[in-house]
Amino acid sequence: MKVTAEHNQRIAKMTFASVYPHYVVKVEKKGHTKAELLQVIEWLTGFSESDLQKFIDTEATFETFFQQAKLNTNAHLIKGVICGYRIEEIDNDLTRKVRYLDKLVDELAKGRKMEKILRE
């Protein structure tokens, strides 16, 4: 699928607080823990659990969330299709970063080994 300007704008305005509970449910439903989810998010963004809670409490947008993130230097190794979009073909920087996060959560939920998810 082709990423549109409207899609990019919608992603930018979405809050981390609105999506995070869905991440938790997704991984827990598949037998994984919130601690594993936090490990994956911290690897990608550098944010601790308390940092994430601040983003949730302030209802920060993904735009703000990723402006403050220190993206892992290996994040570019995250490839594949998520939500119908091939990550490596997304030219909008913010949308690509959000899809990185979606892909990592998806891999965790599907039972991929942590060392493979973290691409180290």
At 74-86, the pLDDT tens digits run 999 999 999 888 9
Q: What is the DSSP letter of 19?
A: H
Region 38-60: mean pLDDT is 98
Region 92-104: mean pLDDT is 96
- Specify if 120 maps to a domain: no
pLDDT, residue 7, reads 86
What percentage of residues in the chain have a pLDDT greater than 90? 90
Query: What total number of domains does the chain contain?
Result: 1
- The closest alpha carbon to 22, from 114, 98, 118, belongs to 98
**pLDDT of residue 17 exceeding 90:** yes
Show the domain range for 98: 5-111
Tokens of 73: 């230097």
CB half-sphere exposure, 16, CA atoms < 13 A: 25
Q: Where are the alpha helices (DSSP H) in 4-119?
A: 5-13, 16-29, 34-45, 49-57, 62-68, 93-109, 114-117
pTM for the whole structure: 0.93
- Specify if 118 maps to a domain: no
- The closest alpha carbon to 97, from 61, 66, 60, 51, belongs to 66
- Specify if 57 maps to a domain: yes
- Specify if 117 maps to a domain: no
Please report, for the domain that includes residue 50, its CATH number: 1.10.8.290
- Specify if 86 maps to a domain: yes
Tokens of 81: 């299709």
- Specify if 105 maps to a domain: yes
- Specify if 56 maps to a domain: yes
